[in-house]
């Protein structure tokens, strides 16, 4: 009996074999797709004139402006330029950036200031109050011409009420830039005929005929737009849906596809089980 008990509790020799390994699978989440926010990158205009020092004051703006531009809201941002700069309506419909002691504003050239000297400007009250205190009356500013203001406005025109087959006058607004030339071509035949600019910003020609015409409008930077179907219908304001220039943009970058989930597999050998 003692011998049997001794045999039972004595240390046993181990005979081990490899167990089947275990496999652990770890799945990492996919990386989020990059955002695809599309932004228009406006290219800086070429030869942007440097701002020049000047003096600004405000006046009681009304719609009877020297540039004859129609339907101007009374609370808009407008500027009247000195007679020398007005130059027979040359800058009408263009834009300037004005920096004053309290801020900056972009204003449209719509009027002539007969009492202004060189580098003196009349601002509508809304424009003046954006850059200075109205109680000051006068403000020192820096003013610079804007080339290709963004967004590009829509070209609109109006035929002068007294127009006929023997004489036609036409006013363009929504040019954004100063106009260099307007020409008309009868749709029936013929070449483009240059019009003459008036001090009231109307372009006119004698003997062009009854129309209809195609108008070519060219600004001082060489942008050109062609407007067909121009007829001698006086007084009506006509929207063309055409813009004199386009703002160049960079196409949005194509985002890369989202990263697929990553699967990591580890093989862990289990301890060898033992048996007597």
pLDDT of residue 12: 46
Both 140 and 166 in one domain: the answer is: no
Buried b / exposed e over 193-212, threshold 16 CB at 10 Å, is bebebeebbbbbbeebbebe
**Residue range 5-13: average pLDDT?**
42
**Residue range 75-98: average pLDDT?**
97
Both 138 and 160 in one domain: the answer is: no
Whether residue 112 is contained in a domain is answered as: yes
Q: What is the mean pLDDT of the chain?
A: 82
Both 73 and 94 in one domain: the answer is: yes
Model pLDDT for residues 21-72, shown as the tens digit of each residue: 555 555 555 554 443 333 233 344 455 678 899 999 999 898 899 999 998 9
Both 123 and 164 in one domain: the answer is: no
The percent of residues above 70 in pLDDT, for the chain, comes to 72
Higher per-residue pLDDT: 171 or 264: 171
Among 111, 146, 181, give the residue marking a domain's end.
Answer: 146
**Residue range 148-162: average pLDDT?**
95
**Residue range 245-265: average pLDDT?**
63
Higher per-residue pLDDT: 112 or 257: 112
**CATH assignment of the domain containing 92:** 2.40.40.10
> Looking at the 3D structure of the chain, how many domains does it have?
2
Whether residue 47 is contained in a domain is answered as: no
Does the pLDDT at position 258 exceed 80?
Answer: no
What is the DSSP track for 61-80? --S--TT---S--TTS-EEE
Q: What is the pTM of this model?
A: 0.73
The percent of residues above 90 in pLDDT, for the chain, comes to 63
Band the pLDDT of 234: cuts 50, 70, 90.
confident
Both 127 and 178 in one domain: the answer is: no
pLDDT of residue 50: 84
pLDDT of residue 209: 92
**CATH assignment of the domain containing 195:** 2.60.40.760
Whether residue 20 is contained in a domain is answered as: no
Band the pLDDT of 189: cuts 50, 70, 90.
confident
**Residue range 176-183: average pLDDT?**
97
Question: What residues contact 123, with CB distance under 8 A and at least 6 apart?
Answer: 56, 57, 58, 59, 77, 78, 79, 80, 98, 107, 131
Q: Please name the residue ranges forming H helices in the chain.
A: 2-9, 83-86, 125-129
pLDDT of residue 26: 52
Return the biggest CA–CA distance within the chain.
Answer: 143
Model pLDDT for residues 99-151, shown as the tens digit of each residue: 999 999 999 999 999 999 999 999 999 999 999 999 999 999 999 999 999 99
Whether residue 37 is contained in a domain is answered as: no
- Taking the C-alpha atoms of residue 23 and residue 269, their distance in angstroms, rounded to an integer, is 9
Domain containing 220 equals 156-239
Both 100 and 181 in one domain: the answer is: no
Asked if the peptide bond before residue 199 counts as cis, ω within 30 degrees of 0, the response is: no
Whether residue 115 is contained in a domain is answered as: yes
Whether residue 256 is contained in a domain is answered as: no
Both 140 and 172 in one domain: the answer is: no
Whether residue 257 is contained in a domain is answered as: no
Both 212 and 161 in one domain: the answer is: yes
pLDDT of residue 251: 62
Whether residue 81 is contained in a domain is answered as: yes
129 in Cβ contact with 107 (< 8 Å): no
Both 175 and 231 in one domain: the answer is: yes
Both 98 and 170 in one domain: the answer is: no
Cβ neighbours around 274 below 10 Å, total? 11
- Taking the C-alpha atoms of residue 51 and residue 144, their distance in angstroms, rounded to an integer, is 4
pLDDT of residue 190: 85
């Amino acid at each position: 009996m003692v011998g049997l008990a001794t045999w039972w509790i004595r240390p046993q020799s181990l005979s081990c074999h490899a167990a089947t390994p275990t496999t652990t699978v770890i799945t990492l989440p996919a990386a989020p797709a990059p955002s695809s926010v599309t932004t228009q990158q406006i290219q800086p205009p070429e030869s942007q004139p440097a701002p020049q020092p000047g003096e600004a004051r405000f006046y009681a703006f009304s719609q009877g402006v020297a540039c004859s531009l129609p339907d101007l809201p009374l609370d808009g941002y407008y500027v009247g330029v000195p007679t020398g700069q007005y130059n027979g309506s040359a800058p009408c419909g263009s834009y300037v950036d004005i920096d004053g002691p309290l801020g900056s504003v972009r204003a449209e050239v719509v009027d002539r200031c007969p009492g202004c000297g060189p580098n003196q400007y009349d601002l509508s009250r809304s424009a003046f109050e954006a850059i200075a205190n109205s109680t000051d009356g006068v403000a020192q500013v820096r003013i610079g011409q804007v080339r290709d203001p963004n967004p590009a406005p829509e070209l609109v025109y109006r035929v002068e009420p007294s127009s006929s087959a023997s004489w036609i006058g036409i006013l363009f607004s929504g040019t954004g830039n100063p106009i260099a030339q307007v020409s008309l071509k009868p749709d029936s035949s013929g070449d483009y005929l240059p019009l003459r600019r008036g001090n009231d910003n109307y372009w006119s020609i004698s003997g062009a005929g009854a129309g209809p015409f195609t108008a070519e409008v060219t600004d001082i930077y060489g942008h050109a737009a062609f407007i067909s179907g121009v007829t001698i219908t006086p007084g009506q304001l006509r929207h063309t849906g055409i813009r004199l220039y386009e703002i160049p943009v960079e196409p949005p970058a194509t985002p890369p596809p989202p990263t697929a989930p990553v699967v990591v597999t580890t093989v862990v050998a289990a301890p060898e089980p033992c048996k007597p």
